[in-house]
Amino acid sequence: MSEQARFGPAGLADSYPGKKFDPEGIAAFTAGFGLTAFEYQCGRGVRLALDKAAALGEACARHNITLSVHAPYYISMSSLEEDKRLHSIDYLLQSCALVKALGGRRVIFHTGSCGKQSREEALEKALDTMRRAVEACDAAGYEDCILCPETMGKVNQLGTLEEVLALCQVDPRITPCIDFGHLYARSQGTQFAEATAPADYAELLDQLQMLGPERAAHFHAHFSRIAYTKGGEKCHLTFADTQYGPPHAPLLALLKSRGLAPTIICESAGTQAEDAQVLASTYQAL
């Protein structure tokens, strides 16, 4: 049997019945949807104690669920202020400490915005910060952690596919987080539109080949339907909101036919476990 893609939610869906932190409850809830991945959300800061993280990691391991961490949203690898770039490295180190305690490896992060500089200047700063972040991770004993820069949904943010692939060239461990909804939104719905989605997905998967077979097959991904304005991403939706894309079925068919096995995290608004189950069951049925 060939290797399978993994599917899971970004944090806990609105339907999660628990209120307090319950490692076994979280793991059982996620596994109950037939899911094998879970992304712990640290958008507003890394606040989970490491002993609690270890307990969650152990519970998830019993249910064959792999864990990743979404690093704080205020990371800016491209800031004009050096202090902000250096603090961003600290936030990545905190996220690495957490993901190791969880028994996972992948830390997903936003690279920042262009601000009052050109895209080229912003990318140069981000590349420099990325190199320093890799050195800092190695020095801190986090050399087995995998940093995953994410494609972004707003037009003024650093995070086109090409920019993320450039960051991945800094070190062979750096693995892209392809957020398909973000790319759809920043293109005003022209990329991965219903009519062109199969060809668009195929082109993107072809582009990932530049990273070599390992990263091209085991990339990280986020998936949700996203509403957009002329500035790009407006808000995340659920799979029931079909006015906006992108569609998931053509992507899953390509992953299956090409034998690719990424980890796909669903970021639907409140229904991320239910919609991740749709992704997983659609994939399994192919």
Q: Is the dihedral of CA 267, 272, 278, 279 positive or negative?
A: positive
| Residue type present at position 182 | H
Residue 168 lies in a domain: yes
Whole-prediction pTM: 0.98
How far apart CA 54 and CA 99 sit, in angstroms, is: 9
Question: Minimal CA–CA distance to 8: which of 149, 151, 104?
Answer: 104
pLDDT at 1 over 50: no
Find the radius of gyration of the CA atoms of the chain: 18
Instruction: Give me the number of domains the chain comprises.
Output: 1
Q: For residue 54, is pLDDT > 90?
A: yes
| 118-154 per-position pLDDT tens digit | 999 999 999 999 999 999 999 999 999 999 999 999 9
Evaluate whether residue 243 is within a structural domain: yes
pLDDT > 90? residue 2 = no
> Does 1 fall in a domain?
no
Pick the closest to residue 203 from 161, 151, 259, 153 (CA basis). 161
Print the domain residue range for 120. 6-285
CATH number at residue 82: 3.20.20.150
- Express each pLDDT in 62-109 by its tens digit: 999 999 999 999 999 999 999 999 999 999 999 999 999 999 999 999
Torsion of Cα atoms, 204 then 240 then 155 then 13, to 10°: -90
Residue 272 lies inside a defined structural domain of this protein: yes
Q: Where are the beta strands (DSSP E) in the chain?
A: 6-9, 37-41, 66-70, 106-109, 146-149, 177-179, 220-223, 226-229, 232-236, 263-266
